Amino acid sequence: MHRLEFVCPACGQTIEVNESMRETILNTGCPVCTTTVSGDDFVAGE
Ligand SMILES: [Zn+2]
């Protein structure tokens, strides 16, 4: 299972997430600024 990071396009917040957190953020937006995000805002972590 690979690591996944969310990088907010609006506030720049970077958060390590798992699959369920990814789904939550896609549905509810950035946890920090609530901006709407897409799958492109998730990147594989190092
Ligand atoms: Zn944000």
Count of Cβ atoms closer than 10 Å to residue 8 Cβ: 19
Q: Dump the DSSP string for the chain.
A: ---EEEE-TTT--EEEE-HHHHHHHHHH--TTT-----GGGEEE--
pLDDT in tens, the chain (46 residues): 678 999 999 999 999 999 999 999 999 999 999 999 999 999 997 7
CA of 1 from ligand 1 middle (Å) equals: 25
Looking at residue 3, what is its pLDDT? 86
Looking at residue 45, what is its pLDDT? 75
CA of 13 from ligand 1 middle (Å) equals: 6
CA of 27 from ligand 1 middle (Å) equals: 14
Closest CA to 17 of 9, 8, 25: 25
